[in-house]
Amino acid sequence: MRGFALADAPKLVDTIAQLVREAPFRHMTTPGGFRMSVAMTNCGSTGWVTDRTGYRYDACDPTTGTRWPAMPAVLSQLAARAAAQGGFADFRPDACLINRYEPGARLSLHQDKDERDRDAPVVSVSLGLPAVFVFGGARREDRTRPVPLAHGDVVVWGGESRLWYHGVRPLKEGEHPVLGRQRINLTFRKALS
Ligand code: MD3
Ligand code: FE
């Protein structure tokens, strides 16, 4: 949904800045011991984390031991409106993962399988520098296609595509008028059933 979040973008950017003061971006470690090039934080009643012990959802920020900030209404309502337009009524996300890409940061091909509710869609909101998202299929070997994502674009991933492989190509150098040298992606999920 190209530009679906454009009208909300100034308020989203402001809200993210506040959230990040409470729970700063950090580069998490994968179970294999690699530092992720994407910096992450969360808001909502639970948040996605990774460390040497594995991937999981946790109510608390591991760096402080306190709960993630609550999900502001401007975020949850945008996600619900987008999901509804994409054919998923009553989407009530409990987790919002906030990804920050600086030039060079990438996300290798993966599936999102850590959520218990596989019937709920994932809603993603892109802000800042444009990126090339790659969308594959049910198997890692499946052909991927590039999908450009720009500031204000929203994607609703549900049904069959919910478990398809996807990733993000290394972010190209650039300067966004609002966000500068970064891309921020919000992914809304229903993690716990
Ligand atoms: C397709 N994030 O956080 S958002 C992730 O741009 C993630 O930061 C990317 O993949 C980003 O896990 C892509 C789009 C997205 C998110 C979840 C999906 C696409 C998806 C789940 C299933 C299929
Ligand atoms: Fe993903």
Query: Residue 190's pLDDT is what?
Result: 96
CA distance 27 to 36: 6
Query: Residue 53's pLDDT is what?
Result: 97
Distance 154 CA to ligand 2 centre (A): 14
Q: Is the pLDDT of residue 193 over 90?
A: no
Confidence of residue 118 (pLDDT cuts 50, 70, 90): confident
Ligand (nearest to CA of 38): 1
Query: What are the chain's domains?
Result: 9-189 (2.60.120.590)
Distance 113 CA to ligand 2 centre (A): 9
Query: What percentage of the chain carries pLDDT values higher than 90?
Result: 96
pLDDT tens by residue, 156-174: 999 999 999 999 999 999 9
Q: With the C-alpha atoms ordered 85, 155, 153, 128, is the resulting torsion angle positive or negative?
A: positive
**Closest C-alpha to ligand 1, atom 8:** 185
Q: Is the pLDDT of residue 2 over 90?
A: yes
Query: Residue 165's pLDDT is what?
Result: 97
**Closest C-alpha to ligand 1, atom 6:** 185
Residue pair 136/163 in contact (Cβ under 8 Å)? The answer is no
CA distance 86 to 53: 35
105 is written with which tokens? 């940061």
Q: With a 6 A CB cut-off, is 187 part of the ligand 1 pocket?
A: yes
Distance 167 CA to ligand 1 centre (A): 7
Please, what is the average pLDDT of the chain?
97
Q: Which of 36-40, 151-155, 157-161 has the lowest mean pLDDT?
A: 157-161
